[in-house]
Structure 1
């Protein structure tokens, strides 16, 4: 039952305007300021539509407009400046490598970070195939169910995981808390393999394979490829994991170079 509650499939009655507004809020929160043109380009909508969406976010304090006329995260969703800039830099560095992954494997590619006990998608590039996994940017899923989340959790110390999944932190959603012993066993396998798989655990009909990305001396992010489960075959696993390993290595290299420049 807990697994069923954790699954997240796009509703048939999804409202594009709501989806656009929520995606904009996440962009402002994790990436920093956006102009109306930036927002329109990212969402694939007209400038007038982007302006109306941003105006509503300002009205509800999810955004604010600065003197430079760009829109910033509002008081409802503001992060610390360091967290925001580091996440934005990671996304910027990773995006070319996500595009390369899509070109190599023909499947959608994503970048995830840990947000409490959730995995947050901060970058996503869709495959061009007719049957594909859509853009997941801004979405969150329970970390222990996602391929990328498991890789980041596996690099935490036992004490850090114990704190993250302490029973008292899960009051009101105890049925969704993973079994600690089973989770430790699964994460041991992930550490041994160096990659993780999520088959239908967060979204019915979707399979993802992930590889960790080191940020400093820790696995602070993960790069994943997502595909329809009907197209997943274990015979592809060697190619997928090899491509992920290259992408992870290149992201780490470029991130280190970018951080040196910042310093």
Structure 2
């Protein structure tokens, strides 16, 4: 399980988090960056200045900072930011209900990217995964989303063994997920980690997103599946309702 290292350098961690925010959610003002990181405005300004110096960020005429050439131009910023905003309260409620960490992720080709995490209070826990990219066929939320795709869509997405896996292997994983009725990652992405995933909304929702509850394998047991599945389904439905309610008519 890859949690935040005890020897991490806080300024480096802040800079990396800022880069992820700019890449995922688009332009930020200094005050907004400071609020997201929980640091002083002066600290946020120094971090952003360094990102600009190294081409991870650029400053516009409106004084907001955006993703720079190193990060590229993020696609569909507004929907991802909207999803994150809608999901966070429900992620926290899901943590309270299950006692384990919860994530929301979006499907990007053959990968999923974590866009928000709510951590539980256990000393031994799955830590913050925000910004991480994982193979969709291994992550629980990715499996939940792939299970919605047709065989043709899977073959197109995994043509020429994209993502380091063949389309036939992905089809087998999808069949197993559909048979189970649950999307499970049992040590697939990290040894000692087990996660259960559930899609958000219907297959037409864009960006395609899913929820997961992740825990140390030592605390997982199959008897937990029904309760975890119900909690995930209800949280996913609540997020979808909030997203629909805030969409323009």
Matched-pair contact (CA < 8 Å) for 1:8–1:202: no
Is the alpha carbon distance of 1:215 and 1:93 closer, same or farther for their aligned partners in structure 2, counting shifts above 3 Å?
Answer: farther
Alignment map for 1:107-126 (pairs within 5 Å): 107-126=100-119
How far apart, in 2, do the equivalents of 1:225 and 1:217 lie? 23
Is 2:216 aligned against 1:233? no
Aligned pair count? 247
Deviation at 1:68, TM superposition (A): 3.7
In the TM superposition, what whole-angstrom CA distance separates every residue of 1:15-39 from its partner, at most 9, and x where no partner exists?
4433322221121122122232332
- Which segments of 5 or more consecutive residues in structure 2 lack a partner in the other structure? none
Matched-pair contact (CA < 8 Å) for 1:148–1:196: yes
Deviation at 1:218, TM superposition (A): 4.7
- Which segments of 5 or more consecutive residues in structure 1 lack a partner in the other structure? 1-6, 171-175
Is the alpha carbon distance of 1:159 and 1:218 closer, same or farther for their aligned partners in structure 2, counting shifts above 3 Å?
Answer: farther
SS at match of 2:196: strand
Which residue in 1 is equivalent to 2:99? 106
How far apart, in 1, do the equivalents of 2:38 and 2:57 lie? 20
SS at match of 1:155: coil
Is 2:234 aligned against 1:246? yes
Deviation at 1:151, TM superposition (A): 1.2
More helix by proportion, 1 or 2? 1
Task: Provide TM-score, normalisation by structure 2.
Answer: 0.89
Which residue in 2 is equivalent to 1:195? 182
How far apart, in 1, do the equivalents of 2:8 and 2:191 lie? 17
Structure 1 runs (4+) greater than 6 angstroms displaced: none
SS at match of 2:199: strand
Once superposed, what is the RMSD of the aligned Cα atoms? 2.3
Deviation at 1:74, TM superposition (A): 2.4
Is 2:125 aligned against 1:132? yes
Is the alpha carbon distance of 1:161 and 1:18 closer, same or farther for their aligned partners in structure 2, counting shifts above 3 Å?
Answer: farther
Is the alpha carbon distance of 1:212 and 1:32 closer, same or farther for their aligned partners in structure 2, counting shifts above 3 Å?
Answer: same
SS at match of 1:144: coil
